[in-house]
Structure 1
Amino acid sequence: MTGDRGDRLTIRELVEGWALWRDALDWDRFRTVWHEDGRMMATWWQGPYEEFIRVSVEGFERGVRILHFLGGGTVDVEGDRAIAQTKMTINQRAEVEGVLSDVLCTGRFYDFFERRGGRWGLVLRQPIYEKDRLDPVMPGTAPVLDPAVLERFPEGYRHLAYLQHGIGYPVKTDMPGIIGPEVERLYADGAAWLRGEPLAR
C-alpha cells in the first residue's frame, strides 16, 4: 500500500497502539508511538510524553485506574504532516464523595503527527472533551456532589474533573470542548500544522 492511504493506515495503527499499550502498561511499545519531543495534554497533566509515562506509572501504583476505548477516525495528510481525529471514551473509576463511581467521558483525540526520517510519530495529542457522566458502581448508591465545585469545570468534562480534583489532581479548566474558542484555536493550529507551520503551543 502506497501514498496517503498507506500513511493513513500507519497513523491509525499508531493511534490504536497508544490506547492499547497505555492501558496495558506496555510502556516500551507505547514509546514507539511518539517522536522524542512529543507532548501529551490531558485534564490532569500536560507535558512531555516521557513525563506522562512517569506520572501514569506513579498514579497506577497509587490505585488510579483510567481506561480508553476508541471509535472511528479520520486522518488528513499533507506531505510529511498529518492531523488525526479519533472518537474515544475515557473511563476512570475512583471514590467520589465516598462512593465508588465510574466517570465516562466521550470526545475525540486530536493528534498532530509528523513523518521524520521515514517514520511517522506523534508530536502532540490534544483531547477534545464533548460530554461526560458519572455512575455509582453499586446500584442504590449515589455520591452527593458539591455544585460549586462541579460548576468550576467545563461542561464537556466536569464530572471527570470533579473526580480527578477529588483525588488530588490539579485539573486544567480550559481544555477544548465540542464548541467554543478553545476548540476553534485547536482547529486553527491543526490547519497551520498541515500548511507546514510550527506548532503554536
Structure 2
Amino acid sequence: MDRLLASLDDAPIVDKDGYEYLVHPISNGVPMLDPALLREVVIEVMQTADLNVDKIVAPEAMGIHLATAVSLQTDIPLVVIRKREYGLEGEVSLHQETGYSESEMYINDVEPGDRVVIIDDMLSTGGTLASICTALDDIGADISDIVVVMRKVGPSALDDTEFDATSLIDITVEDGEVVVH
C-alpha cells in the first residue's frame, strides 16, 4: 500500500460547487495511472475481497479498470453497470445520486441467485453503491462482498442499507489536503 499512500500526497483537490473532490489516478484516471500503483491496488483488492463468486460487478467508469484486472487474474466474469441504456432483454435500470451528480445506470447479465462481489474505486457519498446494492438485491443476487479502494470517512447513503463495504484505506479531505485514517 506504499504506492497508494504516496500517491495521495500528490493528488489534487478541486472544488465542485463546495464539495472537495479528490482527483486521483485510481478514481479519475488523471493524473496518469502508474501500472505499479494499479498492480499494488489490484493485489490488495484480491487479498481483501471474497472472490468465491459467480461474477464481479463494477460501476462505470472508474471501477472498470480495477475489476477488469481482478477478472483477468481470477477468470471470474465481469459485469459492468453502465451509464448507457442498450435495451437488452433483462436490462435493469437504477437511479443513482451522489454529492455532485445524479443519473440512471443499467445492469445486464446478473440473475437471481448469482453470487457477486462489487469492486469500485471510491466510496464517498455512497449514492452509487447504495443504488447498485438495492438493484442487485431486487434482482435476487447475493452480494457476497463490496470492496472499494478508498472510502471518504463520514456518513454515506450506504449506511441506510443492510450492506457494508470494505475499504483498502479510509480518508478525509480537510482544507484541501488528504488525511489518511
Same fold (TM over 0.5): no
Query: Which has the larger strand fraction?
Result: 1
> TM-score, structure 2 length as denominator?
0.32
Bigger Rg, which one: 1
